[in-house]
Amino acid sequence: MTLPEIFGCGFIAFALLASALLWFALVPLRDYLWFGVTFSVLFQEGFRYIIYRILRRTEQGLQAVSDNPGIIENKHILAYVSGLGFGIISGMFALVNLLADLSGPGTMGLKGGSEVFLITSAIQALAMILLHTFWSVIFFNAFDINNYFHIAYVISTHLFVSLITLLNAQGMYAATL
């Protein structure tokens, strides 16, 4: 279980790197943050599918080495664990720049901004962790039962929630929450 999770987390980091490289390569669209967010979400969902395929291919091996094979038989547990890992990495990526900016002496708000931004960012990171957990369970189950509506639902809601965070730049913190 550890090895597929390591590869899955590594793939998430590479998805974010690939989306950043694409954003950097497309010079005319670089000024539009929504472009980077959109492709980041699409890359993340692509790698969520890769993680799904890896976990489904390694299920027999996981059952062979598991102390409790009944846990592996429940496919929702693997989706839950994968989604939780995906969400925690997403939350860490979301807050790393904010925490770096807060390392200064007595920082309240960022560059003269509102102090509400800090709590809003923390709540959004927590919400994204929870949402990634739910999205993975829905996404994995949708592929197991070939329900393409649920797959589209996960991708569209992930895109919607990610794009809504762009309202923070206008100080619309209540709307983003």
* Predicted pLDDT at 5: 65
Quote the crossing angle between the two packed helices 2-25 and 75-101, to the nearest 10°: 50
What type of residue is 63? Q
Q: Would you say residue 152 has pLDDT above 90?
A: yes
* Predicted pLDDT at 75: 72
Please, what is the average pLDDT of the chain? Answer: 78
Q: Would you say residue 30 has pLDDT above 60?
A: yes
Q: For residues 115 and 12, give the distance between their C-alpha atoms in angstroms, rounded to a whole number.
A: 30
Q: Provide the residue ranges of all domains of the chain, joining segments of one domain with +.
A: 2-176
Task: Give the model's confidence band at 153: pLDDT under 50 very low, under 70 low, under 90 confident, else very high.
Answer: very high
CA torsion sign for 169, 172, 176, 177 is positive
Are 97 and 143 contacting, i.e. CB atoms less than 8 angstroms apart? no
Q: Would you say residue 54 has pLDDT above 70?
A: yes
* Predicted pLDDT at 156: 93
Query: 129-150 in b/e burial notation, b at 16+ Cβ within 10 A?
Result: bebbbebbbbbbebbeeeeeeb
Q: Would you say residue 79 has pLDDT above 90?
A: no
Q: Would you say residue 106 has pLDDT above 60?
A: no
Name the H helices within the chain.
Answer: 2-25, 33-57, 59-65, 69-73, 75-101, 116-145, 148-164, 173-176
Percent of the chain with pLDDT over 70: 69
List, for residues 107-146, the tens digit of each pLDDT value: 555 555 667 777 888 888 888 899 999 999 999 999 989 9
Q: Would you say residue 154 has pLDDT above 80?
A: yes
List, for residues 3-24, the tens digit of each pLDDT value: 666 766 666 666 767 767 766 7
